[in-house]
Structure 1
């Protein structure tokens, strides 16, 4: 049992970290700068830890920029206020993601004018159904070897869809449940203590108020784990955090 729990939480938090650190705070918002070598390294690690649920950075970045521009309106790719449940919202997000990733739908220029990290060879390989299938088979094999009973296999769908599930939790809960520090003109909320479990991503009200600030926490009881790791990486020179101009407070 201990091996299954270790594997599950290791997969959850590694996937969540690179989701937050690379896809969200770099690909979408450019909250820090890095060398091309480190960009490739984090790009590769994002693919590797997300595995079967790999989210292509350029498509993710475009959708997330749309989410901020159209937050909680009908043009928002994943506002929970236009769907009956989280699964409908995930399906709608997946359709838009596939359209952007395959080129069937071109995003508005305002969402591609800023830098988007692209690694075409890795994206083609990582997004391929066979590659995703190999990761899925590896997860199943691990559970066959170490699961003490069949009940543990119920965790496998989370492994298969780890990236989208984490994104859906943040967008659904972060725009429905919790409290607000700021008036943003949308339904964004902060959720504590669950913000800790999502490594800071559930402080959505703070983030939507000041979207270019790498620190999503504002109150003393809000804890942004991803930002703390980013500060450490900044201190040792792996990344360079971009200073932000404070946004005037609107309570």
Structure 2
């Protein structure tokens, strides 16, 4: 039971900070926060993403590129132009690392106001940091695993962020339903997004990229947005009111 709870905490904790911080804050800036709160969120993202920590700078830029070039050859991740899941993720990894290591020139429109904490990212993305997290996960399983099959969950803890990316960037462009006819293949994966905390409403998001709430229909409950509303009410962050354009 402890192992299952541990994996669930890493799944939803890592997913929340990827959606809340990397996606909605870094890439789309649907809310603002103080510099102190931003630094705290950097650290919390590292704690919950652990071995698969993603830089807000690299993620934010790459995601903006995804919206600008959706389903074209310039899209950093697209089932329309990548042969399979592994080819797509390898391409994504290469572009992400090239951005972070400044090996490619990035247009200014993609870098505007992207949060960056270079010294922290250097540590959090380092091989030492990732190996420390992996060692910690293995030790946790060694102490608390009660059945052999629980060890099958261990690789998921190492690759949590890439798995989240595959679900949205591959399956979210192949399977599901659409609320809006668009010139891309984005889909909504679930009527109620229990798995991805609102990120699964991918077609809605491509229609209204600057909207904090990814849900549109009454049954499309965006759990991450509910947390954002709570944090806004507590004045921890400041949500930007952006009306839906018909």
State the TM-score, normalized to the length of structure 1: 0.95
What corresponds to 1:48 in structure 2?
47
Residue 219 of structure 2 aligns to a residue whose secondary structure is coil
Instruction: Please state how far the C-alpha of 1:105 moved relative to its aligned partner.
Output: 1.4
1:73 — aligned with what? 72
Equivalent residues of 2:192, 2:221 under 8 A apart: no
What's the offset of the Cα at 1:115? 0.6
8 Å contact from structure 2 (residues 192, 220) kept in 1: no
Match of residue 229 from structure 1 = 227
Deviation at 1:83, TM superposition (A): 2.1
Match among 199, 202, 206 for residue 201 of structure 1: 199
> Residue by residue, what CA displacement relative to the aligned partner does 1:143-177 show, whole Å, maximum 9, x if unpaired?
11111133222211111111111011111121111
Give 1:99 shift.
Answer: 0.8
Determine the structure 2 residue equivalent to 1:108.
107
Question: What residue in structure 1 maps to residue 95 of structure 2?
Answer: 96
What does 1:122-141 correspond to in 2, within 5 Å?
122-141=120-139
In the alignment, what sits opposite 1:120? 118
- Give the corresponding residue for 2:156: 158
User: Which of 176, 179, 198 pairs up with 1:178?
Assistant: 176
Moved over 4 A (4+): none
Could you tell me how far 1:104 is from its partner in structure 2? 1.2
Q: Give the match for residue 82 of structure 2.
A: 83
Q: 1:70–1:76: 8 Å Cα contact kept in structure 2?
A: yes
Specify the alignment match of 2:210 in structure 1: 212
Tell me if structure 2 keeps the 8 A contact 1:173–1:202.
Answer: no
- Work out whether residues 55 and 121 of structure 2, in 8 Å CA contact, stay in contact via their aligned partners in 1: yes
User: Aligned-residue CA RMSD in angstroms?
Assistant: 1.1
Q: C-alpha deviations, 1:178-199, integer Å up to 9, x for none?
A: 1111122111111114622100
| Segment drifting more, 101-110 vs 88-97 | 101-110
Provide structure 2 residue ranges, at least 5 long, that are not aligned to the other structure: none
TM-score relative to the length of structure 2: 0.97
Question: Any idea what SS the aligned residue of 1:82 has?
Answer: coil
Residue 188, structure 1, aligned to residue 186, structure 2: yes
Q: Secondary structure at the match of 1:192?
A: coil
CA distance in 2 between counterparts of 1:134 and 1:180 reads: 42
Give ranges in structure 1 of 5+ residues lacking alignment.
none
